[in-house]
């Protein structure tokens, strides 16, 4: 098994040290969110209006738009061996497959990772592989807000440490916390004052849900499984999805559906949800799905209502867990917690999250959105000359394509990295994943 996993992960990571991998069958993966930005569609509509006498020009403009959409991300070129993947994860949908695992290992390969923080432990799939790839690691910190994930990750990490007999394993201090990543600074302070002062060498945020959460009907995350309308990542939190649906003011319900679900049918859904209160309200995911099915045009078929339901569930989940505000604040806190030269990698699973990650990185760098196809923007070049920062070091890493450099750091992914076609085929849940990485100066 060790050989099999090493083959899978290290095909293009020649820098990986010889590793022992454990049985990774416990890995599960996550996130079915599929919200698409409406901007391109709107642009196409506008183009259609202004070109209504000239069909050929509309076609050209549409294809240009498609091209620019395609360019907005970099598809991973990392090879994934199908046979090995199937041996590890098979067709079992309950297994959490860590998304972009090889790519995440690449992000940290060139660093001496003495300390590492995983903000979203889940089943500790990413963490286990990173710990193995970095025998130099001395302090490991992992957080999850979900007690079930926290417990599972703890036992997984224990077995990784126990099974691996590489020399420094005994020196590795593992700290796990049942905490929200918005508390990252206080958590690091609890571990070691020195860690907070000197900073962490590597940080990972793998957002969204784990497959354990989606597959457990009682958590209420799944469109396809009947359960209570709960959707709390932290079961001790007070707000549940049913509270929003049954007692929030109508316009607040509409705002959630529109802003967090990007659902065009939000107004009609809002009215139906409020009307359902007259008959006792909504208390199960099946009741909510029925309501959505009844308000979705029959002509759109099963795919139509499933897409709407996915957007509605996403919206409620974001509101219940206050995900977007938490993310925005936490990215800055994580960047501030990095050591000099340290890297923060964030995997997001829907456009709202990705926009926040992208903007948070730009805000940290104190620059506005930079567009165009240059490898490095003008300001970056000027700073490089002035400060004699050697960008060539990062460019030697094959996964780094375009960067944005500023005084306080470098965005190593001007365009987000998305899974290879092979990964998307083998793990459909990876489809919407986007990886962005920032390095502190």
Q: What does 244-272 look like in DSSP terms, one character per residue?
A: HHHHS-HHHHHHIIIIIH--TTHHHHHHH
SS3 48: helix
User: Per rule CB under 6 A, is residue 96 in the interface with ligand SAM?
Assistant: yes
Site map (CB under 6 A) of ligand SAM, residues 222-251, x = contact: -----------x------------------
Are 267 and 283 in contact, with CB atoms under 8 Å apart?
A: no
Min. distance of Cβ 337 from ligand SAM in angstroms? 14
SS3 366: coil
User: Per rule CB under 6 A, is residue 181 in the interface with ligand SAM?
Assistant: yes
What's the CA gap between 106 and 101, in Å, rounded?
A: 9
Min. distance of Cβ 397 from ligand SAM in angstroms? 22
At 179, list the tokens: 């905490």
Number of residues binding to ligand SAM, judged by CB under 6 A: 23
What's the CA gap between 420 and 435, in Å, rounded?
A: 12
User: Per rule CB under 6 A, is residue 149 in the interface with ligand SAM?
Assistant: yes
Min. distance of Cβ 121 from ligand SAM in angstroms? 6
Min. distance of Cβ 401 from ligand SAM in angstroms? 24
User: Per rule CB under 6 A, is residue 345 in the interface with ligand SAM?
Assistant: no
Of positions 98, 220, 416, 419, contacts ligand SAM by CB under 6 A: 98
Residue with tokens 């995440």: 104
User: Per rule CB under 6 A, is residue 95 in the interface with ligand SAM?
Assistant: no
Which region, judged by CB under 6 A, interacts with ligand SAM, from 117-125, 337-345, 352-360, 392-400? Answer: 117-125
Nearest CB to ligand SAM, comparing residues 153 and 269: 153
What's the CA gap between 358 and 328, in Å, rounded?
A: 10
Which region, judged by CB under 6 A, interacts with ligand SAM, from 12-20, 40-48, 137-145, 421-429? Answer: 137-145
User: Per rule CB under 6 A, is residue 117 in the interface with ligand SAM?
Assistant: no
Residue among 267, 350, 261 at smallest CA distance from 310: 261
Are 335 and 205 in contact, with CB atoms under 8 Å apart?
A: no
CB under 8 Å to 343, separation ≥6 — which residues? 107, 108, 111, 201, 202, 203, 412, 437, 438, 439, 440
Q: Which residue is nearest to ligand SAM (CB)?
A: 122
Min. distance of Cβ 188 from ligand SAM in angstroms? 14
3-42: which residues touch ligand SAM (CB under 6 A)? 27, 30
User: Per rule CB under 6 A, is residue 208 in the interface with ligand SAM?
Assistant: yes
Residue with tokens 């923060």: 344
At 10, list the tokens: 């290290």
Are 347 and 357 in contact, with CB atoms under 8 Å apart?
A: no
The site for ligand SAM (CB under 6 A) is made up of 27, 30, 96, 98, 119-120, 122-126, 143-146, 149, 180-181, 206, 208, 210, 233, 326
């Amino acid at each position: 098994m060790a050989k099999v996993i090493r083959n899978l992960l290290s095909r293009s990571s020649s820098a990986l040290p010889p590793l022992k991998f454990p049985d990774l069958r416990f890995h599960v993966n996550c996130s079915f969110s599929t919200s698409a930005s409406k901007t391109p569609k709107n642009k196409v509509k506008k183009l259609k209006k202004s070109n209504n006498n000239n069909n050929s020009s509309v076609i050209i403009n549409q294809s240009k738009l498609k091209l620019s959409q395609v360019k907005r991300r970099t598809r991973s070129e990392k090879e994934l061996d199908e046979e090995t993947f199937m041996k590890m994860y098979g067709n079992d949908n309950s297994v959490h497959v860590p998304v972009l695992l090889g790519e995440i290992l690449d992000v940290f390969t060139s660093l001496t990772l003495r300390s590492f923080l995983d903000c979203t432990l889940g089943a500790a799939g990413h963490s286990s592989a990173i710990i193995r790839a970095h025998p130099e690691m001395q302090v490991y910190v992992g957080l999850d807000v979900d007690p079930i994930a926290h417990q599972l990750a703890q036992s997984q990490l224990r077995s990784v440490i126990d099974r691996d007999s590489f020399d420094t394993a005994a020196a590795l201090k593992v700290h796990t916390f049942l905490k929200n990543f918005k508390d990252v600074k206080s958590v690091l302070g609890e571990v070691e004052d020195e860690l907070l002062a000197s900073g962490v060498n590597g940080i990972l945020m793998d957002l969204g849900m784990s497959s354990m959460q989606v597959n457990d009907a009682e958590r209420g995350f799944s469109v396809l499984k009947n359960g209570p309308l709960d959707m709390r990542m932290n079961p001790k939190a007070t707000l549940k999805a049913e509270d929003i649906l049954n007692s929030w003011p109508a316009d607040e319900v509409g705002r959630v559906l529109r802003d967090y679900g990007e659902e065009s049918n939000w107004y009609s859904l809002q009215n139906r949800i409020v009307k359902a209160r007259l008959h006792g309200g909504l208390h199960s995911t099946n009741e909510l799905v029925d309501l959505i099915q009844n308000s979705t045009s029959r002509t759109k078929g099963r795919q139509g209502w499933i897409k709407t339901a996915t957007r509605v569930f996403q919206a409620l989940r974001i509101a219940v867990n206050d995900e977007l505000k938490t993310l925005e604040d936490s990215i800055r806190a994580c960047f501030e917690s990095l050591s000099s030269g340290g890297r923060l990698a964030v995997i997001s699973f829907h456009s709202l999250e990705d926009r926040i990650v992208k903007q948070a990185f730009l805000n940290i760098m104190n620059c506005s959105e930079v567009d165009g196809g240059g490898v490095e923007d003008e300001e970056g070049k000027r700073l490089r000359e002035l400060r004699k920062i050697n960008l060539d070091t990062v460019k030697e890493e094959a996964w780094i394509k375009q960067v944005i450099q500023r005084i306080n750091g470098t965005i190593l992914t001007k365009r987000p990295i998305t899974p290879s076609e092979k990964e998307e085929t083998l793990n459909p849940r990876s489809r919407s994943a986007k990886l962005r990485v920032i390095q502190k100066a």
